[in-house]
Amino acid sequence: MFVCVLNSINQHNIVIMIEAPEALYIAEQMNQTIQGKRITFVTAGYTPHKFAWFYGNPENYGNMLTGKIFGITHAYGGLLETDIEDSRLLLGDGVNLRYFKPGDKIPDKHQLLIGFEDESFLTGSVRMYGGILCFPADSFECSFTPYRDSAKNKPQVMSDAFNLDYFLTLINSDEKQKKTAKAFLATEQTIPGLGNGVLQDILFNARLHPKTRINTLTDNQKENLFHCVKSTLKEIYQAGGRNSETDLFGKKGNYFPILSKDTCGKPCPVCGEAIRKENYMGGSIYYCFECQK
Ligand SMILES: [Zn+2]
């Protein structure tokens, strides 16, 4: 059920979730700020939310986590997963996380509240939809399992393991040849954590139209696309994420996308042509007609 809903929502390309650069940035903030703290209480599912998913009964989360040490957080694509001794806490890409200092006021609404022994606390709130999944480290069986496995086991797009050779095996595989650049990059979890949010600027930087067929690309264009994936994501990460997203402390990112609903109709920064929007694959694409042939 989870994956079905997820897929149908993803097809609408709702751009309100963190992607790989933000996940990495937030994971690092969590490791600097929360890692090593002992958990004193947990409340999950406090504010009802139709599209908040839990692993089993959220009332059990307290039993699973209380008294344990909040360990290292990993970014898997756009997902965040924390080791909490013999348990794991997996947060989907549609969950807003926020850290609060001792003495701060607890927000009225949340789907996850974790208190620590120094009286600081972490909240998670689901935006459109999102999973807050707590489970034993050695067993995770639900409809979200393939999604997590794929995000966790493939080379992370921002890591050195995601190199040109790996990218070329992806883009040169038979099944990808008839796909468009957008479909190749941002669907089917081909590159976990690369979604519609960061896609537009990658293609702009690569000077490729989103509808360009993969089998029409030259070797140089493929290599250039790889470098644009890397450099664009790095730039977003170094800016602390996109401006539409917030970090662990509620601060907006400093990356302002070149192509987005906010820049649609405005002049392209390179050629001055108005930035266009089109509906495509059940969602929106933005592009410059001059720069992205
Ligand atoms: Zn242009």
- Quickly list H helices, 90-218: 145-153, 164-171, 181-186, 196-205
Tens of pLDDT, residues 30-66: 999 999 999 999 999 999 999 999 999 999 999 999 9
**113 Cα–ligand 1 center, Å:** 45
Residue 17 has a pLDDT of 86
**206 Cα–ligand 1 center, Å:** 12
- For residue 79, the Cα-to-chain-centroid distance in whole angstroms is 6
Q: Where are the beta strands (DSSP E) in the chain?
A: 39-44, 52-54, 73-76, 79-84, 87-91, 95-100, 112-116, 121-126, 130-136, 276-280, 283-287
Residue 269 has a pLDDT of 97
What is the rounded CA–CA span in Å between residue 228 and residue 221? Answer: 10
Residue 12 has a pLDDT of 41
Neighbours of 157 (CB within 10 A): 23
**26 Cα–ligand 1 center, Å:** 32
- For residue 221, the Cα-to-chain-centroid distance in whole angstroms is 26
Work out the mean pLDDT of the chain and round it to a whole number: 93
Find residue 255's DSSP bridge partners: 242
Q: Which amino acid makes up residue 117?
A: E
**287 Cα–ligand 1 center, Å:** 8
- Model confidence, pTM: 0.94
Contact yes or no for 70/116 (Cβ under 8 A): yes
Number of residues written out for the chain: 293
**288 Cα–ligand 1 center, Å:** 5
Contact yes or no for 101/52 (Cβ under 8 A): no
Nearest Cα to Cα of residue 75 among 201, 247, 256, 259: 247
Sign, CA dihedral 161-165-171-175, equals: negative
**173 Cα–ligand 1 center, Å:** 30
**275 Cα–ligand 1 center, Å:** 8
**210 Cα–ligand 1 center, Å:** 14
